[in-house]
Structure 1
Amino acid sequence: MQLKDFYTVNNVAVTENNATANITINKDHEIFKGHFPGNPVTPGVCMMQIIKELTEGVVGKKLMMQSSSNIKFMAIINPEKTPDLVLTLNISETENGYKVKNSTTFDETVALKLTSNFIEK
């Protein structure tokens, strides 16, 4: 885990090319003291790192992001109000690595959608 104690994986369900992970963001993590005091916002780059780490766990390999597209941050993830997230990953193997289509939600709200290509480290 790149960011120690930033989030907890509550469970991951894997079926064929799909994985669904339930995680909880740690509202007391150091990063929120600077992003932003009194109104914490989960940084987008941290969400992208979580997606990478979850994908590594599913495929059992160390990965590096090669490219991302269709990145849409659709709602603010405030860890004090909505720390529990559901990340849906559609993972397909490519010639060079893996393509991941992600949707991240809390409650009924879509917070993030992105497509990333990963290669083995």
Structure 2
Amino acid sequence: MLLNDFYKLTNMNKIDAENSTAFIELNKNHEIYKGHFPGNPVVPGVCLTQLIKEVMETIEKKELMLVSADYIKFMAIVNPEINNNLQIDLKIKNKEDYTIQVTSETHFGTTVFYKFKGIFKAK
């Protein structure tokens, strides 16, 4: 885990061959928030992307590398003091060229914070 104690994966549900849901608890006391931003903590966008990669590695049970990010959209600010429990819904397709396409939404309740669509491959 690149982000050390940044978050904890509290639950993972594999719904079917292509769909999974991950439940994440953010560590609202993590050191990163001292700089991003003092007094008004915000989860850095790059950390949300890393979170998707690490959840994918848990699902696929192997190290992955991001090949391309076709779509990244930040829909709302993630303040860990307000929303530290996130849900990530993933749709995963294994391709014939041994890459893995993922489309995901990260949300808290009905508020979608982050949308991602990209391609991973095994390291």
Tell me which interval the TM-score lies in, with the shorter structure as reference length: over 0.9
Structure-2 residue corresponding to 1:27: 28
Instruction: Write the mapping of 1:17-96 to structure 2, written as runs, cut at 5 A.
Output: 17-94=18-95, 95-96=97-98
- Distance, in Å, in 2 between the alignment partners of 1:118 and 1:60 is 13
**In the TM superposition, what is the alpha-carbon distance from 1:116 to its structure 2 partner?**
1.1
Distance in 1 (alpha carbons) for counterparts of 2:84 and 2:4: 16
User: 1:6 maps to which residue?
Assistant: 6
The percentage of counterpart residues that share the same residue type is: 47
1:115, distance to aligned residue in structure 2 (A) = 0.2
Give the TM-score taking structure 1 as reference length: 0.97
What are the ranges of 5 or more consecutive residues in structure 2 without an aligned counterpart?
none
Q: Secondary structure at the match of 2:37?
A: coil
Q: Which structure 1 segments of 5+ residues have no match? A: none
Corresponding pairs, count: 121
- Displacement of 1:63 in angstroms is 0.4
RMSD: 0.8
- From 99, 102, 105, the equivalent of 1:100 is 102
Q: Which amino acid aligns with 1:101?
A: T
Residues 32-60 of structure 1: per-residue CA shift (max 9 Å, x gap)? 00000000000111011110011111111
Q: 1:8, CA displacement in angstroms? A: 0.6
Alpha-carbon separation, structure 1, partners of 2:109 and 2:103: 20
Please list every run of at least 4 consecutive aligned residues from structure 1 whose deviation after the TM superposition is greater than 4 angstroms. none
* Residues in 2 aligned to 1:3 and 1:113: alpha-carbon distance in whole angstroms: 20
